[in-house]
Structure 1
């Protein structure tokens, strides 16, 4: 990952890219969850007969999910939780390192939290966030 600091303005500027990539991740996740009940028997059979359509579909969805995660990480953004669609942008508040926090479905980056606080420690963005 290309870790970097983001100002709030910089994080908001790349948020549309993050949203698009997260949409791909969530779409792939939903499809994986839909296919998963049949996945294990299919994968077992694939090991002895060279594969199947269902195994191929599942693999394609995993590739899409991985592509989305890597795309977000290549922007310098941390993917924290795929199920929630949670990402953090490393930032600063009053000179201290923090995370600017966004999750799938939110329109904007509206929260921050300390590095060790996690999602439960989210607080609204204030004037001290740079």
Structure 2
């Protein structure tokens, strides 16, 4: 996939499409976490069958997560954290590459950070 650069306006324009996808990704992640604990409990008792509905549901959840990640990445943004719904959008600012940074639940993109600094280096636009 070619590298895509965004303006703040272009990245913000995508949020109405991306937000529900990221929300669903976070829901699935929570379900996987819950179901993984259930599978771990089953595996602790080796006399139980490790297949069944929980294992099947877990496989389906992982498939859905993979599909959602691909759909989100197809917009040209970078998923930085599935756990917190953190997306970065490559942007040129003052002649250098930076990331516009958005986290699920934020109303708009209001922060950027240097390419190598990450979330802790976020600064207001």
TM-score (norm 2): 0.88
* Gap regions ≥5 residues in structure 2: none
SS in 1 for 2:90: strand
- In structure 1, the residue matched to 2:93 is 93
Structure 1 segments, 4+ long, off by >2 Å, are: none
Alignment of 1:11-90 (within 5 A): 11-40=11-40, 41=42, 45-46=49-50, 51-90=51-90
2-side partners of 1:3 and 1:79: how far apart? Answer: 14
TM-score (norm 1): 0.85
The CA deviation at 1:2 is 4.3
The CA deviation at 1:84 is 1.2
* Gap regions ≥5 residues in structure 1: 126-130
Aligned length: 120
| Superimposed CA distance per residue, residues 54-110 of structure 1 (whole angstroms, 9 cap, x where no aligned partner) | 111111111121111111111111001111111100001112110000011111101
